[in-house]
Amino acid sequence: MRVLIAFLLGLAGSLAFGWWGFPQLLYQREPQPLQYNHKIHIEKGSMECSSCHEVAADGQFAGIPRTASCGACHAEPLGKTEAEKILVTSYVAPERELDWKVYSRQPMNVRFSHAVHVNKAAMKCEECHGGRGSATAAEPFYRNRVTGESRNVWGPRMIRVGLKPGEGMKMSDCESCHEQKGVSAGCLGCHR
């Protein structure tokens, strides 16, 4: 009888650690250089996604804009927010690159072509990146200590079910979308 109790105790302990403790240990939270507010840029600055994240004529994707393109408008602080003060004083003035923690950063060997998806397939940014484009502040960034990737690639929960757009960017997510649309690209399509 005592053996059974010991067994159940061990079972409960490791399940608790596995489902609650392990995720805490696996991800470490890293601060963004500043709290960037997408919403205010879209509304007050009357901009849309492609004004900063634009696909150039030769198909190269600009990705996260560099400090110089922020400096174009923010040579001096336009508003009173704390984030903008940091931007101007410690990044635009000394021309230092902002070290953004990119939520959807894929490993080096993955080639995601924004030109094909945005220009050719006319997909919306929200389909993959979720509501990040209209957020008022940068959501917290969690990095997987083992793989070094952002938590947004695997997804917030251990079991990858019910993932809203922007929460999961693993290979199977891309594949399921490709399967639905019947456009399978094979290994060469997405890897380099």
Partner 1 sequence: MSATQKTSRTPRRYGMVIDLDRCTGCGACVIACAAENNVAPGAARENDRNSISLLRVFTLNNPTAAGRRTAFLPMMCMQCEHETPCVTVCPQQAVELDVLSGIVEQMPQRCLGCRYCMTACPYHARSFNWGDPSWPAGMEATLNPAVAPRMRGVVEKCDFCQSRLHAAQDAAAVNGSLDPGIYTPACVEACPTQAITFGDWNDPEGALAKSGETFAWLEGLGTQPKVRYRSGQNWLHEMAERGGAAPAKEERHG
Partner 2 sequence: MFPGVNGFHWSPVHIIFLSAFGLVLSVLLVTLAVAFFRTLRDVRSGRAGAIAWHCDFEDLPRQERLCRHAFEGAAPGRLCDRGFDCRDCETHPKFATIETRWPVTLPAGLEYPETRLYHRGHTWVEPQPDGTALIGLDDLGARVFGAPEVVELPAPGTKLSVNGAAWRMMRNGASVSVRSPLEGEVIAHGAPGGQWQLRVKPEAGERAFRHLLSGAEAHAWVNAETDRLMILLSSTPTGAALADGGALVADLHQALPDAPWDEVSAAMFLNC
Partner 3 sequence: MAIGRRELLGLAGGAAVGGALSPVPWKLLDDSAIWTQNWSWTPTPVRGPVTEKFGLCTLCAAGCGVKARCGSAGVFGVAPAAEHATGGGALCPVVYGAHQLPYHPRRLRTAIVNGHAVETKEAIAEVARRLEAAGAKAAILDERPGRIVSALYDRIARAKGGTVVTLAQVEDRSLRTMEDLAGMGPGTLGYDFEHAALILSVGAPLLDSWGSTGRMSRLWSRRVETGKPVFVHAGSHWSRTAQLADRALILRPGSEAALVAALAGKLAIEPAAEITGLSPASLSDLALRLREQAPALVVGGGEAASSGLPEATERMIAALNVAIGALGRAGGIVMRRPLTGAPQPPQYLDRVPDHSLDLLVHEASSAGIVAPEALLRRKLAAKGTLVRLSAFLPEAFGPNDVLIPSTTFLEGAEDARGARDAAVETWSYSDGLSSVPASALPPAEFAAQLAEALQVKVESYEELRKARAAAIVAAKRGHVYRHAGGERAEATDLEKFEAAMAEGAVWVDEPVEPGPLRAKIDAVDWSAGRPEQPSLIAVASSPRGSLSVLPAVPLASKLDRETRLYAVPGEVRMNPRTARELNLRPGDSVLVSTPFGETRGRVRCDAAAIPGQLELGACGDGSQLVLEAMGAAEPGAGPTQAAQIRRS
Is residue 29 part of the contact set for partner 1 (CB under 8 A)?
A: no
Binder among 171, 181, 183, 191 for partner 2 (CB under 8 A):
171
Is residue 192 part of the contact set for partner 1 (CB under 8 A)?
A: yes
Q: HSE on the CB side for 38, CA within 13 Å?
A: 16
Shortest Å, Cβ 147 to partner 1:
12
Q: Which of partner 3, partner 2, partner 1, none lies near 171, with the C-beta cut-off 5 to 8 A by kind? A: partner 2
Q: Which of partner 1, partner 2, partner 3, none lies near 112, with the C-beta cut-off 5 to 8 A by kind? A: none
Q: How far is the C-alpha of 166 from the C-alpha of 33, rounded, in Å?
A: 21
Instruction: Return the range that interacts with partner 1 (CB under 8 A); candidates 91-99, 111-119, 131-139, 154-162.
Output: 111-119
The residue count for binding partner 1 (CB under 8 A) is: 25
Q: How far is the C-alpha of 134 from the C-alpha of 89, rounded, in Å?
A: 25
Is residue 9 part of the contact set for partner 3 (CB under 8 A)?
A: yes
Shortest Å, Cβ 166 to partner 1:
23
Tokens of 43: 């509304």
Q: What is the largest CA-CA distance in the chain?
A: 74
| 138 and 83 Cβ atoms separated by less than 8 Å | no
Q: How far is the C-alpha of 68 from the C-alpha of 86, rounded, in Å?
A: 15
